[in-house]
Structure 1
Amino acid sequence: MHTILLTGTSGQVGFELQRSLQGLGTIHAPNSAALDLANADAVRDVIRALKPTLIVNPAAYTAVDKAESEADLAHAINARAPAVMAEEARRLGIPLVHYSTDYVYSGEGEQPWREDDPLAPANVYGASKLAGEEAIRASGCDHLILRTSWVYGVRGKNFLLTMLKLGREREALNIVADQIGAPTWSRTIAELSAHIVASRPDWAGVSGAYHLVNSGTTSWHGFAEAIFALAAARGDKVPGTLGAIATEAYPTPAKRPKNSRLSLDKLRETFGLVPPDWHDALKLSFTELPA
């Protein structure tokens, strides 16, 4: 049985992990007051006091646009904190499960990214997440870096909840249609993570980066269409018009990737896991929404 240090339980993935990891050990989930991820010394002190046998780190600075003007804070949480976790994991001889993003790639082209493709983030957030990955790899600890994309859930701030809110308020919406990726339910990430942890009596030979997203791809416009179809079926108000626009028509401080496709081959070949299609996950997530 593990003694698990789990960060970020107020976030979408951390909330789900606190439930999915039940039964695999004793979970210690300090809140932000007890574990300030922007303070490297505080991170080290918490780990040394707890002496966990597994660290699971879904916590991150995820305000992509705000990161352009808060680069130091983004790097403190996304790079320096994971670096300390990895150093302590190596010192303790324990594994680290860390979550990253498709933003570590350039976002160009149309082919699904593979884990060993060149890494070239196009914004500060992506650069901070890549720095965290590099620090973990450099530490020499046993680790899984699980890169995901387009994460949504039934709590917090995400595209699903934003669309449902705007659908109630507006008659027409315009949604970007030339960025392609996999909408990924936070529950899918947590459940498959738990499967991986439960299946590893040891971590020999599996350390590295893996993609963990729902299967299939769509655009943000296609994701919105699917959300509103399910919302309308349960009687929610939805927009009468859903327009498709180009990325350039919706400028943001941080550059967004047009290609967020992530290959799932390595996840399947290493762990025998095939994430459900994003349509199926979205339908299941709707059963968790308040009426």
Structure 2
Amino acid sequence: MVFHPAGRPAALEGTASASATNATAGVPACAVLTDSGPVTARSALSAAPSLRLGLGDTAVDLMGAHAVLPDGTVILAVDAMTRTGGLLVAARGRPGAVRLDVTQLVPVATRSRVRAKVWVMGTAHRFDPVSLDSCDGDAVMSLLDLPPVALWAVEPVEVGLLRNLDEANVSVSAYRAARPDPLATVEAVYLPHLALQHSDVLDQLTALIDPVLTARSTRVIPVAVDADGIVLRAEAVGGHTDVRLPFASPVTGWAGVAGGLRMLLAEAERRNAVRSPGPATIAGRPPTVICDLPAACCGVASV
């Protein structure tokens, strides 16, 4: 059972552990989250640095060799003159003959790092450059970043998702219509940066977590950030609890994170003032390391 700041159990889909709480007063606690199954699948595929390609009884890990088009088609860069390329040639055009597996991980050092596992059964064919006509600039750049070898397109025919020990199929049409979370590809850089270089901000955000929970915790770290908010994990000796701090409204990109954090920090300051009457300030640790990112890229320096 999850500890809710209001003293009642609560659950939240899509956080890094099997349970989580929604813990910011003044923000709609029942807001619909964008982290649905199709969005999770698209986000995991788009952000993963690697994937496992399965062809019959053969499986191979591809590093930095895939991209995802706006319609959900997965592009693989595989040399046609290799054994894997030969297997792709043999599998070409056969429905569901290709399997892709990716694992979505919490991008900071912590226990229970696996958030979700996504698998796609698909049909492979050689990439048609005509597809570029329907790609946006980001998709084109992701294709240009692939190794200069043969490109293969994998059209999904079945999509599955394992999350919180629950396995389910994802509608292929819903998968194709979904878009990755706008922060999915930058989260792995942002969260370690926040944890290492802005521990003072984390100290302030911790005021939004119930003090009974933090009192028995050994540390509080950020484990997720998405369009809807940031998730802090309160770690204790015997386990952990994830607490979602929702933004006032979903952010549409990197630039919106600073505004979302500003709102959360203002609420933290208000709560801290209520708990400790006096000047409305919060004494936190100084940044662990001087921030090395420009304010426009940091998303924290301007708050």
Task: Bin the TM-score by the shorter chain.
Answer: under 0.3
| TM-score normalised by the chain length of structure 2 | 0.25
| Larger-Rg structure | 2
Judging by fraction of residues, say which structure has more strand.
Answer: 2
